């Protein structure tokens, strides 16, 4: 049975390759990116049945608008893959006064997913891109009150998305799944080249695990879990994500930030 699958950050890298992998199986793929030109090019590259949605994930109004457009076009969505992520940026602070890494890697996928939950299928899945790089969240940094270096912001934003994945999973019906996935360290993405200056490993390693997380039987009962593709198994995330106090603090801060940004 064919599914309707949203993939954010699908104009290049692992997002585009995952979209191509799933489109080849006959699924309808909703691809997101910032640039209309890149989206058109990616749609041709991906082939199959694709729809394009443009939004700058540092702009919450655009996140809400994209969610509204998707809800208008679709009564049901089987899978949401929150793949879009950033590490190095020229401008690290948004107009709203938040670190853009938290905006793109944590807040935007949270808001987008919440807005699309009403149309998520009864057996639908939310697949969130985490990372092997995770670090305890500095609440002041999350609120934009303290600057962070690139890796600090990235690692904290990835712990934050892992935390909200775990917390959201507790609120979903038993037939729905929310999982956080480290698709593999140092894959051949633009981010790895920029951040570490290395070519990286075959991107298909990451695309294959995202495909499995989206549709595979091994993830059917995995809601709230973290999958580490470096070890090829479900594993514990960073200990800070398992700390109930820290998780509660981070969730409160995410909800406060999202409410403030509007």
Residue 193 pLDDT greater than 60, yes or no: no
User: Looking at residue 10, what is its pLDDT?
Assistant: 98
Q: Nearest 5°: phi and psi at 172?
A: -85, 155
Residue 201 pLDDT greater than 80, yes or no: no
Q: What whole-number distance in Å separates Cα of residue 16 and Cα of residue 113?
A: 20
| Structural contact between residues 125 and 140, judged by C-beta atoms closer than 8 angstroms | no
Tell me the pTM. Answer: 0.95
User: Looking at residue 196, what is its pLDDT?
Assistant: 53
- CA–CA–CA angle 18, 20, 21 (5° rounding): 65
| Structural contact between residues 50 and 40, judged by C-beta atoms closer than 8 angstroms | no
Written as six digits, the tokens of 34 are 């910032």
218-245 pLDDT, tens digit per residue, is 999 999 999 999 999 999 999 999 999 9
User: Looking at residue 262, what is its pLDDT?
Assistant: 87
Radius of gyration for the alpha carbons in the chain, expressed in angstroms and rounded: 17
SS3 content of the chain, % helix, strand, coil (to 5): 50, 20, 35
75-91 pLDDT, tens digit per residue, is 999 999 999 999 989 89
99-134 pLDDT, tens digit per residue, is 999 999 999 999 999 999 999 999 999 999 999 999
CB atoms closer than 10 angstroms to residue 26: 11
Give the pLDDT band of residue 184 (cuts 50, 70, 90).
confident
| Structural contact between residues 112 and 65, judged by C-beta atoms closer than 8 angstroms | no
| Structural contact between residues 21 and 3, judged by C-beta atoms closer than 8 angstroms | no
Tokens 């699958």 correspond to 5
- Mean pLDDT score, 28-53: 97
Residue 188 pLDDT greater than 80, yes or no: no
Residue 199 pLDDT greater than 90, yes or no: no
Q: Which residues contact 89 (CB under 8 A, 6 or more apart)?
A: 100, 101
Given the candidates 3.10.180.10, 3.50.50.60, 3.40.1190.20, 3.40.50.720, the CATH classification of the domain at 4-261 is 3.40.50.720
The structural domains of the chain, with segments of one domain joined by +, span 4-261
User: Looking at residue 186, what is its pLDDT?
Assistant: 55
User: Looking at residue 129, what is its pLDDT?
Assistant: 97
Written as six digits, the tokens of 101 are 């890494």
| Structural contact between residues 123 and 214, judged by C-beta atoms closer than 8 angstroms | no
User: Looking at residue 195, what is its pLDDT?
Assistant: 56
């Amino acid at each position: 049975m064919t599914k309707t699958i949203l993939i954010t950050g699908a104009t290049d890298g692992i997002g585009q390759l995952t979209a191509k992998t799933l489109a080849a199986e006959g699924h309808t793929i909703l691809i997101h990116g910032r640039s209309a030109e890149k989206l058109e090019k990616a749609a041709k590259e991906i082939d199959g049945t694709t729809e394009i949605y443009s939004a700058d994930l540092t702009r919450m109004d655009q996140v809400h608008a994209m969610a509204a457009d998707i809800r208008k076009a679709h009564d049901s969505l089987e899978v949401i893959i929150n793949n879009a992520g950033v590490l190095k940026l020229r401008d690290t602070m948004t107009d709203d006064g938040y670190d853009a890494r938290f905006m793109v890697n944590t807040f935007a996928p949270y808001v987008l997913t919440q807005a699309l939950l009403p149309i998520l299928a009864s057996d639908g899945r939310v697949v969130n891109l985490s990372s092997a790089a995770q670090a305890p969240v500095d609440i002041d940094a999350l609120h934009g009150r303290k600057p962070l270096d690139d890796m600090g912001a990235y690692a904290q934003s990835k712990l934050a998305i892992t935390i909200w994945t775990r917390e959201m999973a507790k609120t979903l019906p038993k037939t729905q799944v929310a999982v956080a996935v480290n698709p593999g360290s140092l894959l051949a993405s633009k981010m790895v080249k920029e951040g570490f200056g290395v070519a990286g490993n075959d991107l298909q390693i990451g695309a294959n695990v995202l495909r499995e997380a989206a549709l595979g039987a091994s993830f059917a009962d995995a809601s709230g879990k973290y999958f580490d593709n470096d070890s090829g198994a479900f594993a514990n995330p960073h200990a800070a994500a398992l700390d109930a106090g820290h998780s509660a603090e981070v969730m409160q801060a995410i909800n406060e930030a999202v409410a403030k940004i509007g």
